[in-house]
Amino acid sequence: MRKGWKKNKDGFFVHWLAGLRRVIMKSASGFTLVEMLVVLGITAMLSSVFIGYGGTIKDQVSLFREEAKMVQVLYKAKTYSVQALKMDGGINSGKAACGYGVHFNTTTRSYFIFLKGRDSGGLCPSADSGLGYFNEEPKGSVNVVDSRVFFSGVGDIVFKPPKPEVYFYPNNSFGGKVKLCNLNESFCREVTVNKVGQVMSGKAD
């Protein structure tokens, strides 16, 4: 939809409502009660359609925005893995992380990057089960999705340096898919990371 057309459409609608109000106010004595109710009913119907239409557009814009943010965060985690970003503090200070992951929490509707460190012996945990999120501090900001959007799917997507190799938790066999929808699920998008680390997004099936 062209921005200019939307703006003109909005202006026309507001101008039309104002004109209708003036007609009713000036000519109320010329309307029967039934005619007045019909006019008011049509006005209310058009208003609700317009408001509903505007709300749908806002929902879709919010969904696209959250999709883009999620893709960006996943790319950042992948980049950290390729660069073997060094960790700060503690026994892992100055060392590359064992895994660079994104943790998704459907309860809090949030997601963030985390770095998986080594154990006290300097060893990395097993990739089969040990690279998933376990109370690590977020690397950077915690992203909370818009109130018009919810998501579901994989819990953690982890990039193991330096290739990177990709692991999905809690079940590695299902692949890394996160589905984002508006609240009534009439419009959904899907963000996917495959086993070779490609980050993709598109319309959900």
Tens of pLDDT, residue by residue over 149-177, are 999 998 999 999 988 999 999 876 557 89
Strand 99-105: give its sheet, edge to edge.
Answer: 138-144, 110-116, 99-105, 156-160, 165-169
pLDDT for position 8: 45
pLDDT for position 16: 47
For residues 188-197, average pLDDT: 91
Q: Which two tokens stand for residue 39?
A: 């006019």
Question: Mean pLDDT over all residues of the chain?
Answer: 80
Least confident of 31-35, 95-99, 128-132, 156-160: 31-35
pLDDT for position 74: 96
pLDDT for position 76: 96
One-letter amino acid for residue 109 of the chain:
R
What gap in Å lies between CA 51 and CA 36, rounded to an integer? Answer: 22
Residue 144 has a CB neighbour count (10 Å cut-off) of: 13
Q: Is the pLDDT of residue 146 over 60?
A: yes
What gap in Å lies between CA 65 and CA 67, rounded to an integer? Answer: 5
Q: Is the pTM of this model over 0.75?
A: no
For residues 102-108, average pLDDT: 96
For residues 128-142, average pLDDT: 91
Phi, psi dihedral angles at 182 (to 5 degrees): -75, 175
pLDDT for position 53: 54
Closest CA to 95 of 69, 74, 124: 124
For residues 16-21, average pLDDT: 52
pLDDT for position 143: 97
Question: What percent of the chain has a predicted confidence (pLDDT) above 70?
Answer: 72
pLDDT per position as a tens digit, 26-63: 444 455 565 566 556 555 655 554 455 556 778 888 89
pLDDT per position as a tens digit, 62-85: 899 999 999 999 999 999 999 999
